Amino acid sequence: MVSFRVPDWLAVFVGGVVGTAARAGLDEVAKASPVHGLFLSWSTLTVNVVGAFLLGALSAWVAGCLARGVGDPVSLKTLKLLVGTGFAGAFTTYGTYIVASVGYVSLNGIAEAVAQSLG
């Protein structure tokens, strides 16, 4: 049996390519169907909520596997790099959310920006 280990950089790269494509696709959908009254695109909020959930679920699942002795630790590490660092890192944009929030402050004042940011 031949064993093949994916290099860490390749797992991050592949996950990043897929995450970037998914984000770009969602942004195109958001441009075609904007929600008026929001200080940022609904796609930005969506990717950050989905990304946070994905990272939490992945971390809990991997930790559970490791605690039960299920799965190969090297494979689980590669999965975390592929899905967590690569895909979710490229898919989410907390930086975009922050930039949009700062821009909202300059247009509408800090109190309204804080209210919008908190929902």
pTM greater than 0.95 (yes/no): no
| Cα distances (Å, whole numbers) of residue 73 to 10, 70, 102 | 18, 9, 41
Quote the pLDDT of residue 14: 98
| Structure tokens, 40 | 């940022």
Where do the domains of the chain lie? 8-93
Cβ–Cβ < 8 Å for 6, 78? yes
Q: Which residue has the higher pLDDT, 66 or 3?
A: 66
pLDDT per position as a tens digit, 7-37 = 999 999 999 999 999 999 998 998 888 887 6
Q: Confidence class of residue 39 from pLDDT cuts 50, 70 and 90?
A: low
